[in-house]
Copies of this chain bind each other. A is one copy, B any other.
Amino acid sequence: MKKNIFYAQSGGVTPVINATAAGLIDAYNSNKNLFGKLYIGKNGIAGALNEELIDVNKEDPKELKKLIHTPGGAFGSCRIKLKDPVKNKKEFLRILNVFKNHNIGYFFYNGGGDSQDTTLKISNFCKDHGYNIICIGLPKTIDNDLPVTHNCPGFGSVAKYIAISTYEASLDVASMSNTSTKVFLLEVMGRHAGWLAASAGIIKTSQDSAPHLILLPEVSFNQERFLAKVKTTVKKYGYCVIVASEGIKNNKGEFVAASKSKDSFGHAHLGGVAPKLANMITEKLKIKVHWSVADYLQRAARHIASSVDVKQAYSIGKSAISHAKQGKNGVMLSIKSNSTKKFKWGISDVRLSNVANKEKKLPKSYISHDGFGITKSCKTYIENLVQGEDYPPYKNGIPDYAKLKHPLVKKRLKDF
C-alpha cells in the first residue's frame, strides 16, 4: 500500500510559504502513482498532535491554483515548541501514533530553524521506534537566518517590500523636509539577524541618498553615536531616513525596544523600537519625526513579491517530491548558488543535523565600517534575491487570494 504524505507549515509565515505548498501539490499530482494521499496539518504540527489532517484532494482545485500567489499560511501555521523527546516523549509518541494510523511515509516540515530541529527529532524518534518514514525539512523564513543554504525562501519578497517602502517613504519625507518632518524611521522585523533591515540598503546610490542609517542587531546601539549621525545627516542633506531592526540592543545586550519605563531613554515599555527612537530624536534634537512599524504588513506583502523568491519557494515544494522519490531522509532542502555575479541558483540538500539550532547573522564583511550601512557585497547578495515582480491577479481592485475550506480526514484516534 502506497504511503501517504504529511506536510505542515510552521512558525511565522511568509508571503511565499504557500508557493512551496503549491509546488508540492503540483509535483504530487504529477506523481500520484508513487504516493498515497497528500495530507496537510491544520495549524502546522498541531495538526498531527490533534489528528487534524486536511485532505488536499477535497479542496476546490480552483482555490488550490491560487496558492502560489497567496500570502499567510493557507493551512494554518503554529508556534509550538515540542517537549524534548528524551525527557518527555508523550508528544512524539502521539505524532508517531497519528503517522502510523494514517499510513504516513513522508513528512515535509516547512519552517525555520526551530522547525528543522523538530524535523530532525521526529526523524530520529521514528527511526528509534522502528517506524520507516522519510523526513525532509523545507526552508522558510523571512529572517534569512538559516545556515548552509545560500538564502531562505521568504526573505527575497520581504527584502523587496522593505527596499521599495523605504524608497517611497524617503521621497515623501524629502518633499516635506523643508518646512515640516525631517526624519522618517521604519521599524522592520529581525530579532537577532539584520538581513531585513539591511535590505533597505539596496536603494542607496550615493552618500546623500536614503537610507542614511540602518540599525542592525549585529551592531551594538549607542544613543550618542546614533543622534550625532542623525543630526549631521539632517544638516547635510535636509532630511534623514532610518531603518531599524526590532532587535537592536544596547552594549549591555538589552533590547532597546524592551527597556523599562525608567530606563536611560525615559519611556514606558510599548514594545516598539520605532516610537522609542522617534521620541529620542524629538526630545534630544528637537526635530519632527514620522515613524512606521511594518510588522505583519512586510511579512504578508504578497502584492509585491520577488519573482526569484516565488520561484525558489515553488521549487522547494516541487523538490520535496523528487527528494522523497530518491529516498532522502533527514535532510533540509537548500538553495545552492555557484556565483553571485551572475546569479544562478538550484535546489540541493543538507543534513538536518548541520542546520538545526544554528543562526546565520549578517557577516562582518556585509556591514559598513561605521556600522550604519551595508557593503557592496551585501548589496549584490540582496539585489539578486529581489529581482522581478510577481503580481497576484486582482478582482474588483483587490488581490484574488485563495480561500480554503480545510476538509479534515476522519479521525481514528482518541483526542490527545
Contacts and interface: CB of A to CB of B under 8 A. Distances in A.
Interface size class of A (residues with CB under 8 A): 35 or more
A281 B199 CA distance: 32
Contact of A272 (B184, B275, B306): B275
Q: Is the interface of A mostly helix, strand, loop or mixed?
A: mixed
A13 interface: yes
Most buried by B among A184, A291, A296: A296
Contacts of A302: 168
Contacts of A398: 163-164, 167, 202-203, 386
A78 B76 CA distance: 46
Contact of A279 (B79, B165, B270, B401): B270
A273 to B, nearest CB: 11
A111 to B, nearest CB: 13
A178 interface: yes
Contact of A9 (B174, B175, B270): B175
Given A180-B78, A268-B267, A291-B295, A303 B168 contact: yes
Interface in A352-397: 383, 386-389, 391, 394, 396-397
Given A293-B292, A394-B389, A397-B388, A175 B76 contact: yes
Most chain B beta-carbon neighbours within 10 Å: one of A77, A293, A301, A394: A293
A36 interface: no
A176 interface: yes
A46 B179 contact: yes
A64 interface: no
Contacts of A80: 179
Nearest to A186: B297
Given A80-B179, A178-B76, A272-B275, A172 B296 contact: yes
A60 to B, nearest CB: 16
B292 A176 contact: no
A327 interface: no
Contacts of A401: 167, 171
A167 B293 contact: no
B397 A71 contact: no
Nearest to A9: B175
A399 B164 contact: yes
A72 interface: yes
A311 to B, nearest CB: 14
Contact of A184 (B71, B172, B296): B296
Contacts of A71: 168, 171-172
A389 B387 contact: no
A9 B399 CA distance: 32
A360 to B, nearest CB: 22
Interface in A175-197: 175-176, 178-180, 184, 186
B73 A175 contact: yes
Given A160-B397, A164-B398, A398-B203, A169 B300 contact: yes
21 contacts: A12-B176, A70-B171, A71-B172, A72-B171, A78-B178, A164-B303, A168-B297, A171-B300, A172-B300, A186-B297, A267-B270, A270-B275, A271-B275, A271-B279, A272-B272, A272-B291, A292-B293, A304-B304, A387-B396, A389-B394, A391-B391
Given A168-B297, A173-B296, A294-B297, 10 more contacts: A43-B179, A46-B179, A72-B175, A78-B179, A168-B302, A267-B268, A272-B275, A292-B296, A389-B394, A391-B391
